[in-house]
Structure 1
């Protein structure tokens, strides 16, 4: 007798591997995108904190990354916007921004504003496609501000 697998056994194994792959790949892609989003948010928060320190000392918001007391290793930063890896970081008049260069979402960290109801400094996640919508919804309580989800 010959030993080995039958064609039917091989087909069943290939089908099972195909089904597992079909389920695992989208989940993996979402996990990677979510990790990238957290990386962008962490770097953006560092820039945001540096901008707040600059504003506290100088009484105005920074207009150039060279005014901040932070930097990115191996990166020369000039002006109010720069690209680092998968993200573009921006200094605005009322916010610091993080844009995902691969698409999906933009994050905006607003400088604090004071009103009769207290101090507000929201982080807004603005999706630019369905994947970004999924990421933003899961990070917030689905509280929206225009086309953005607020992550307060």
Structure 2
């Protein structure tokens, strides 16, 4: 009886191994479909985060240019005309952005971070000399950082201040950042 029981047990074990040899085609298809759905949801979100990281470079650089222009004016009573003149160690062009200054308008300067890639936004900074009274000793500088409302390869912008006393403003197609 014991040998009969052993034989039945061995047949049962051999039968179990044949059942669990691999996955069926339907099981593999279900797994592939689930992975496809998850990647379709996650990929656009991932790409958007990558673009935000690239855009943070331009925000930092244009903000630094604004602060450097304010410091330069404090020391020299005029705005800097080149990035090298500001001496803050910013490259004029990176893989994603080109940085330019425009001081063609008296008493204000535009600092531009122009997008070189169609998936990125451009940035513009505007620093103005806001004269509070008639003497230049009462002058102060005000700055604003602006972002395009749409993505795409950008163009350099001229300074855009308005009002009395002069206030920095964003050009059309741009919105101020806080």
1:138 maps to which residue? Answer: none
2:76 maps to which residue? Answer: 58
Specify whether residues 97 and 27 from structure 1 end up closer, same or farther in structure 2 by C-alpha distance, changes over 3 A only.
same
The reply to whether residue 147 of structure 1 matches residue 173 of structure 2 is yes
Structural RMSD (CA)? 2.5
Specify whether residues 16 and 113 from structure 1 end up closer, same or farther in structure 2 by C-alpha distance, changes over 3 A only.
farther
2:113 maps to which residue? Answer: 98
Gapped regions of structure 2 (runs ≥ 5)? 1-17, 104-108, 133-140, 153-169
Cα offset for 1:124?
A: 1.2
CA contact (8 A) 2:93 2:99 kept: yes
Highest RCO, 1 vs 2 (Cα 8 Å, sep ≥ 6): 2
The SS at the match of 2:39 is helix
When Rg is computed on C-alpha atoms for both structures, the one with the higher figure is 2
Spell out the pairing of 1:3-18 with structure 2 (5 A cutoff).
3-18=21-36
The SS at the match of 1:83 is coil
In the TM superposition, structure 1's runs of 4+ consecutive aligned residues that sit over 2 Å from their partners are 112-116, 119-122, 127-130
Which of 68, 78, 89 is the equivalent residue of 1:71?
89
The SS at the match of 1:38 is helix
The SS at the match of 2:124 is strand
Cα-to-partner distance string for 1:96-152 (whole Å, 9 max, x where unaligned): 111222133110111045388xx853211114438xxxxxxxxxxxxx863112114
Specify whether residues 63 and 115 from structure 1 end up closer, same or farther in structure 2 by C-alpha distance, changes over 3 A only.
closer
Spell out the pairing of 1:24-63 with structure 2 (5 A cutoff).
24-63=42-81
Aligned residues: 130
The SS at the match of 1:61 is coil
Gapped regions of structure 1 (runs ≥ 5)? 76-81, 131-143
Alpha-carbon distance in 1 for matches of 2:54, 2:113: 11
Alpha-carbon distance in 2 for matches of 1:112, 1:8: 67
Could you state the TM-score of these two structures normalised by the residue count of structure 1? Answer: 0.73
Alpha-carbon distance in 2 for matches of 1:101, 1:123: 19
Could you state the TM-score of these two structures normalised by the residue count of structure 2? Answer: 0.63
